[in-house]
Amino acid sequence: MLLCYVTDRQSLAATESGEPRKALLLRIEGAAAAGVDWIQIREKDLSGRDCASLTREALQRAAKSEAGRAARTRIIVNDRLDVALTENADGVHLGEKSLPVAEAKRLVVDRGARNNFVIGVSCHSLEAARSAARGGADYLFFGPVFATPSKAGVRRAPGP
């Protein structure tokens, strides 16, 4: 079992004082120090440049926070394969309507990314999960299982 922290700096703005980016980086550092396996940088509103900068700093902070731990925290970038490859992140998480997994795998090989680079996919139906598996996804997120305000009116939650 893996523990994954999916970032959302906008939600931190309402709960913590100061700049959301700074609050997010402190959360990333804390999550890495606590032994979280994966941190998914999911900041959909950022430009490529800002996403790359955030990813670079997240990688640095995670590495700094891992002293003495057996396993390191892996940084996964949401929906930005270009950023994940350029910044030497540990993987990319694709949306259901993003770049196909097989194409992402081809680009990863072409760019010479390390062998343990992971490609995951968000899936919202059984057929989408099967398609991601056929495409060679390393993992998938399925959901939402239960109703959630972030997906209200977008899709029906199938339940367990």
Query: 30-70, pLDDT tens digit by residue?
Result: 999 999 999 999 999 999 999 999 999 999 999 987 766 66
CA distance 62 to 82: 20
Annotated active-site residue in 42, 56, 72, 131: 42
Read off the pTM: 0.88
Residue 48 has which token pair? 């490529």
- Active site (annotated) includes residue 134: no
CATH of 4-151 given 3.90.1150.10, 1.10.275.10, 3.40.50.2300, 3.20.20.70: 3.20.20.70
- In the chain, where the domains are located: 4-151
Predicted confidence (pLDDT) at residue 92 exceeds the cutoff of 70: yes
Q: What is the mean pLDDT of the chain?
A: 88
Annotated active-site residue in 9, 27, 74, 122: 122
Q: Is the peptide bond before 160 cis (omega within 30 degrees of 0)?
A: no
Q: Based on the number of CB atoms within 10 Å of its own CB, is 9 exposed (0-12), middle (13-18) or buried (19 or more)?
A: buried
- Active site (annotated) includes residue 49: no
Annotated active-site residue in 21, 56, 72, 151: 151
- Active site (annotated) includes residue 131: no
pLDDT of 18-31, one tens digit each? 688 889 999 999 99
